[in-house]
Structure 1
Amino acid sequence: MIPCPGGTRHMGRKTFSNYLEKEYTKMESELKKIFEGLEYISTTSDIWSVHNRSFLGITSHWINPTTLQRQKAALACKRIKGRHTYAVIASEIDHIHSLYGVSTKVTSTVTDNGSNFVKAFAMYQPESLSDDDDDDEEEVIFTDVADVLNTAAEEGIVLPPHQRCASHTLNLISCADVLKWLLSNPGTKGIYRSSTAKCTALWNKASRSTVASEIVSDVVTKKLLVPCTTRWNSFYDAVARIVEIPMTDLSAISDRLQLKSISDRELHFLKEYCAIMKPLTVALDILQGEENCYFSTLLPTLETLMSKTLEMKDSLTVATGLPEAIVQAIKKRFASVLESNDAMLAAVTLPKFKLRWVRDQRKKEMVKGILAAECHKCVPGPEQQPARNPVSPTTPPDSGSSKDKEQDFFCFEDDDETFSKFHTIKAICLKQSAATPSSAPVERLFSLGSLVLSPKRNRLSDQRFEKLLLMRYNHWFES
């Protein structure tokens, strides 16, 4: 509800429009003022299509240096016309970052694995980053004339480092990699197809007929869940609901609906499937969080996911090789994250994790070395350090500053209180943990957008819709 100035008096259309413009300008100025005081922020971005219109959404995320609380704000939900090419996406993202003065402060931008986003960030990285990715061999590249003509307009566009959405990647593992293994393995191919076909028939019957739904309600107290095509989690939840039903009740439901009943072996397979996939669903829920989910969460979550998945392989009788297949898929799709120094620094500097997630002793020593090196980089050089009191000839040179900062971690690891007194560790954490592990926040922006741009209000102008959505997402009128 948007409060009206001047008590309860209703405003006319023109007065209300002027009021919204004034409030939006005030909100935009307030955000810019907040960003001026920040050193590190991150953004998420995605494209949403509704009512034959497409919008590019961008949200920002940072850690308050004083309270250490996660904070967020929506920056844009801008209309995009024409094709969603990588050049158009790059130009809009760069423009929005520049508009709020955060181009040099964004540590990373999180998007899904869409090819247009991936190419945009690959093409418009700073030279120091893009040069590292170039192959030694020269390659002949054919350039489109239109691209040449647009080069002048695209010059000067620089995007921050790109981070792929971890939730989207885990969904790909659940849908593509797991399905590929189940259908290519002779021991699971037939039983997977038959069991899911019977489940699908049951879902269709119960969801499309009120009589069938009443029959199910007569036998079991919980309603059957129907999977959604866009969310793998919904498929897992629907199967998990079926395996909770006793075999006798399942047979009774199938008989009354005149459907083929799920056999004992098929039910056993579905139970194994749910047991294997449960850690993955928990990981998805963690990584799609927002208020208390940092980039620091990603690496410990992946390590724990792989460990818990492998733990159950000895208790399986049908899908015996599926846990190893899932772990291999995680290692392949998250290879860059698992070996990333930034991801390790983010995890190890967050008090919630520290070194507890590292089980291998050699890796633990390696992580300590990476952190010590990062702490050393944070120590100013001799020419930058303030003048100290003269040191007598008998006193050894004071090198304690560098050593103390490098050793912050070893005290920090044993400290159960907040890390606010370890300034170097805090500075590293604020930088590395600014990003979110997934692009779920911008998807929540679009969910809110569907309430603003409802069928009854689909004639809102693009600019008015964006302003209403951003003010609502940023809770501008709550106070």
Structure 2
Amino acid sequence: MIVPTSTRWNSFHDALSRISDIPAQDLNTLCTRLDIRAPTEREHLFLKEYCSVLKPLTVALDILQGEDNCYYGTLLPTLETLMSRTLALQNGLSRMTANLPGVIVQAIRTRFAPVLESSEALLAALTLPKFKVRWIVGAERREAARALLIAECRTLPRDEEPANNKNREAAAHSSANENDFFSFDEEEEDAMSISADSEVFEYMRSGSELEVLNRFPRVKAVCMKYNTATPSSAPVERLFSLGGIVLSPRRNRLSDKRFERLLLMRYNRTFCTDVE
């Protein structure tokens, strides 16, 4: 059996899921031996349906609580996929849990309304190669997302433009006399726009590995701008598990900077033997 804990969000679901997986007859036998009331057939059915409906939510929590690849761009695709998978479970449920998927989705939309409407969250997801526009439902929404990324790439400052653009500008300067003779109009902005369009188009056709961003400087710059890693509760909790040891009653007046240095030294004490 699994005992729920307050620090792991999925532990309550895992505990109920373990109980619901036990056949009703075996569960009744176990309850009889433990001298506790056995769940009725209706209660057992409710537990199974409840766990099946909440299963996508637990998977989403595991993804968002992960310590690796915890990019901001993971949030929006995870929420969209979670809502679609939860609504897909409505068919086949009994009257006891028929409204549960809709309630969960409505709660997600209410709680994360700013994120679902955020262009920054959308750009963060678009610039992660494993997502791009694959998670977006509807051709119109995908086209709008591509247009948003192209517009963002066009706004990059000059020092973030790819090197091949600068090489083309140097070649243009070398033939300045010829251009002046023909009195060509300036088309720098159009050339930059076309280059941004082609870069985003090629990026959408590339692979799903994170390393492909090195081939697309503009897209990589947008990714670096919006995909700031946000720490989840699990690694932060482990980091400060020694906080009580460092912040003892005799050290109750430590400054933030001093506390940070002591905490880091406590974790890296095996590497500080020579210093001591």
TM-score for both structures, normalised by structure 2 = 0.80
Amino acid at match of 2:155: K
Q: Identity rate of aligned residues, in percent?
A: 49
Aligned partners of 1:280, 1:447: CA distance in 2, in Å?
27
Residue of 225, 235, 239 corresponding to 2:16: 239
Alpha carbons of 1:269 and 1:448: their partners in 2 closer, same or farther (altered >3 Å)? Answer: same
Alpha carbons of 1:474 and 1:285: their partners in 2 closer, same or farther (altered >3 Å)? Answer: farther
Aligned partners of 1:278, 1:478: CA distance in 2, in Å?
45
Match of 1:467 in 2: 261
Aligned partners of 1:413, 1:298: CA distance in 2, in Å?
20
Match of 1:328 in 2: 106
Residue of 369, 372, 376 corresponding to 2:150: 372
Match of 1:434 in 2: 228
Aligned partners of 1:409, 1:461: CA distance in 2, in Å?
54
Aligned partners of 1:237, 1:345: CA distance in 2, in Å?
34
Query: 1:358-414: CA deviations, max 9, x gaps?
Result: 112121111112111111111549xxx977422352756443123202431111010
Amino acid at match of 1:353: F
Amino acid at match of 1:409: V
Alpha carbons of 1:421 and 1:472: their partners in 2 closer, same or farther (altered >3 Å)? Answer: farther
Match of 1:415 in 2: 206
Aligned partners of 2:203, 2:270: CA distance in 1, in Å?
38
Aligned pairs for 1:95-110 (under 5 A) are none
- The question of 1:359 aligning with 2:137 is answered yes
Deviation at 1:290, TM superposition (A): 1.9
Amino acid at match of 1:328: Q
RMSD (Å) for aligned C-alpha atoms: 2.7
- The question of 1:256 aligning with 2:33 is answered yes
Q: Which has more strand, going by share of residues? A: 1
Q: Matched residue of 1:314: which SS?
A: coil
Q: Matched residue of 2:3: which SS?
A: coil
Conserved 8 A contact 1:295-1:437:
no
Aligned partners of 2:13, 2:65: CA distance in 1, in Å?
16
Conserved 8 A contact 1:351-1:419:
yes
Amino acid at match of 1:244: D
Conserved 8 A contact 1:279-1:305:
yes
Moved over 6 A (4+): none
Aligned partners of 1:300, 1:437: CA distance in 2, in Å?
18
TM-score for both structures, normalised by structure 1 = 0.48
Alpha carbons of 1:280 and 1:437: their partners in 2 closer, same or farther (altered >3 Å)? Answer: farther
Residue of 190, 194, 203 corresponding to 1:403: 194
Match of 2:163 in 1: none
Q: Matched residue of 2:10: which SS?
A: helix
Structure 2 residues not aligned, in runs of 5+: 160-165
Aligned length: 249
Q: Matched residue of 2:152: which SS?
A: helix
Match of 1:316 in 2: 93
